[in-house]
């Protein structure tokens, strides 16, 4: 069975400081992993995805995530937060052809 | 290119009433998915269409929920009769191919409130 755990329900950072959103996954087989973002009143947008190629995945808006099989982790990072990054972020796991399985989400707040 | 659209954006109904949610996928996307997020919980899969056929409906909570995709274009999700626990945000997504291989594009969701 697959599952994903987002370790923080809420993360607060100051503008210009690094962002770390943590995600651990569980999967019997080689999973695909994704990070989605949802801004208020908008649909979910794909930030980046890992599908067994390079373990360090670069996404949109300066975000990246590193797949660590030994730690079963797929943490999302960004070197410098911007006010526009304030949103809810979802870590998602999937095995080919099956439905996406979402974490509970992490709300990122960015203060000036 | 138009994205996935959902209608209505909000719906408030009383317990026992019927509500129909609509999703228009991106043109040409054969795969259409419905998800739901109940307050305080994670987003959960409801069902998956490939064209007009239900590929996987393992996430449908009970027989009060009926999804259709006549003609393989737009889809509707009917809740009849609605219960309080059906409140939440219903998302639709579409993709060119199966999940994991192809990106799923999500609509903005329909917020359903059952009172």
Predicted pLDDT of residue A96: 61
Residue B93 confidence (pLDDT) above 90: yes
Predicted pLDDT of residue A97: 64
Chain A contacts of B42, Cβ < 8 Å? Answer: 102-105
> Are A49 and B33 in contact (CB < 8 Å)?
no
Predicted pLDDT of residue B24: 97
Number of Cβ within a 10 Å radius of residue B64: 14
Predicted pLDDT of residue B108: 92
Would you state the structure tokens that stand for residue A17, as one six-digit string?
């400081």
Predicted pLDDT of residue B97: 87
Mean pLDDT of the B92-101 span: 87
Query: Is the distance from CB of B106 to CB of B89 less than 8 angstroms?
Result: no
Residues B37, A36: Cα–Cα separation, whole Å: 15
Q: Write out residues in chain A with pLDDT < 50, as ranges.
A: none
**Helix, coil or strand: residue B74:** coil
- The residue ranking higher by pLDDT, B39 or A14, is A14
Residue whose C-alpha is closest to residue A74's, from A82, A62, A66, A85: A66
> Are B100 and A94 in contact (CB < 8 Å)?
yes
Predicted pLDDT of residue A63: 97
**Helix, coil or strand: residue B70:** helix
């Amino acid at each position: 069975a697959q599952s994903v755990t987002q370790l923080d329900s809420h993360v607060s950072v100051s503008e210009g400081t690094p962002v770390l959103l943590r995600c651990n996954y569980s999967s019997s087989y080689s999973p695909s992993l994704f990070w989605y973002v949802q801004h208020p009143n908008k649909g979910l947008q794909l930030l980046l995805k890992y599908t067994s190629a390079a373990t360090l995945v670069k996404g949109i808006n300066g975000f990246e995530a590193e797949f660590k099989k030994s730690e079963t982790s797929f943490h999302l990072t960004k070197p410098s937060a911007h006010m526009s990054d304030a949103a809810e972020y979802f870590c998602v796991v999937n095995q080919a052809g099956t439905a996406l399985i979402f974490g509970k989400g992490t709300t990122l707040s960015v203060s000036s | 290119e138009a994205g996935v659209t959902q209608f209505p954006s909000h719906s408030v109904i009383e317990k026992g009433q019927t509500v129909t949610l609509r999703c228009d996928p991106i043109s040409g996307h054969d795969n259409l998915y419905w998800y739901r997020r109940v307050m305080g919980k994670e987003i959960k899969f409801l069902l998956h269409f490939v064209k007009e056929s239900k590929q996987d409906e393992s996430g449908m909570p009970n027989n009060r929920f009926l999804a259709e995709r006549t003609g393989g274009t737009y889809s509707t999700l009917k809740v009849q009769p609605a219960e309080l626990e059906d409140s939440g945000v219903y998302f639709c997504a579409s993709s060119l191919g199966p999940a994991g291989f192809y990106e799923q594009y999500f609509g903005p969701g329909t917020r359903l409130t059952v009172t």
